[in-house]
Amino acid sequence: MGQPAEKARRATYADLEAVAPNKIAELVRGTLRVFPRPAPRHANAASSLGADLHGAFQRGRGGPGGWWILDEPELHFPDPDAPREIDSLVPDLAGWRRERMPELPETAYFTLAPDWSCEVLSPSTAAFDRDEKMPVYAREGVRHVWLVDPIARTLEVYVLGGDRRLGPAVVHRAAARVRAEPFDAIELDLSALWA
């Protein structure tokens, strides 16, 4: 009879901190994921979308204001499988309504789930973003999740339902001009994300 299989060691936040600074590291349910920095199309899509939303929703220029819109914030949530550990996610963009978070925290991370999270998909991150991060966002009550795919040129808009599930997606394509929740106060020209 063979030896019992050795149980894989759960990664911890210390493992995440040991990752090289030129990488993006995330920790979900004890599994460490390490990704390269975003490619130019990915960076352009995130930067363009962030600029549109930051002006209108954080600064109130051409929009209602009332939000914090941030690039790559580190989110810390309790790991349901290991109470002393955390899930650490880094969305490409995230937003908090100021009525829920009047001031930015002093820590280098956020423990309050955002009201909106956006992942820009790339071939190396798409499965992780969809299959592992989206369930965490739903579990933590993130009301709106967007997935931007600069290769397929799509914006998928998800809203959290009463059953704590995201979806179904409303998909916008190519050069559409859209008003998408929760930022439907302004029209977004998706062609700017693909330039």
Tell me the pTM: 0.93
Give domain status of residue 24, yes or no: no
20 belongs to a structural domain: no
Q: Does residue 49 fall inside a structural domain?
A: yes
Domain that holds residue 129: 38-193
CATH, residue 128: 3.90.1570.10
Count of the separate structural domains present in the chain = 1
Spacing of C-alpha 142 from chain mean position: 10
Q: Per 3-state DSSP, what percentage of the chain is helix, strand, and coil (rounded to 5)?
A: 20, 30, 45
First to last CA, the chain: 60
Residue 130 falls inside a structural domain: yes
Q: Is the dihedral of CA 45, 17, 133, 52 positive or negative?
A: negative
Instruction: Note the pLDDT of residue 8.
Output: 75
Q: How far is Cα 150 from Cα 121, in angstroms, rounded to an integer?
A: 7
Judge whether 138 lies within some domain.
Answer: yes
Of residues 34, 52, 3, 22, the one with CA closest to residue 184: 52
Distance CA 31, CA 16 (A): 10
Q: Is residue 140 part of a domain?
A: yes
* Residue 25 within a domain: no
pLDDT, tens digit only, all 195 positions of the chain: 455 455 678 999 999 999 999 999 999 999 999 999 999 999 999 999 999 999 999 999 999 999 999 999 999 999 999 988 999 999 999 999 999 999 999 999 999 999 999 999 999 999 999 999 999 999 999 999 999 999 999 999 999 999 999 999 999 999 999 999 999 999 999 999 997
178 assigned to some structural domain: yes
Cis peptide before 168 (omega within 30 of 0): yes
Shortest CA distance to 81 belongs to which of 28, 132, 127?
28
